[in-house]
Amino acid sequence: MRTATISRHTSETSIDVTVNLDGTGAYTVSTGIGFFDHMLEQLSRHSLIDMHIKTVGDLHIDQHHTVEDTGLAIGEAVLKALGEKRGIRRYADALSPMDETLTR
């Protein structure tokens, strides 16, 4: 299975991310930012990538560090889970349902 776990700890944030690229879209997401959690949940659900994300950030200052560092940790986890990238097609298009919309 293509899975990876990343822990990222800085002076502003503490983040643990686990991804399973061959998952079912299961998720547990907790960043302390409701709308950001919702968007990450939708990404997991519609990509069928299992994501387990726990972020504690300096939200008393602003949301920037939490969002940026969580994104970096997710990217690192996906890169690690991909391993050898042979056979991956780089271009595609798709339609994705999200709430009441259909996006391209």
Contact 102, 95 (CB under 8 A): yes
Residues 6+ apart with CB under 8 A from 37: 29, 30, 31
Q: Is the pLDDT of residue 17 over 90?
A: yes
pTM of the model: 0.85
> Can you give the pLDDT at residue 12?
96
> Can you give the pLDDT at residue 90?
78
Q: What is the CATH number of domain 3-83?
A: 3.30.230.40
Rounded-to-integer distance, Cα 67 and Cα 74, Å: 11
Domain boundaries, the chain: 3-83
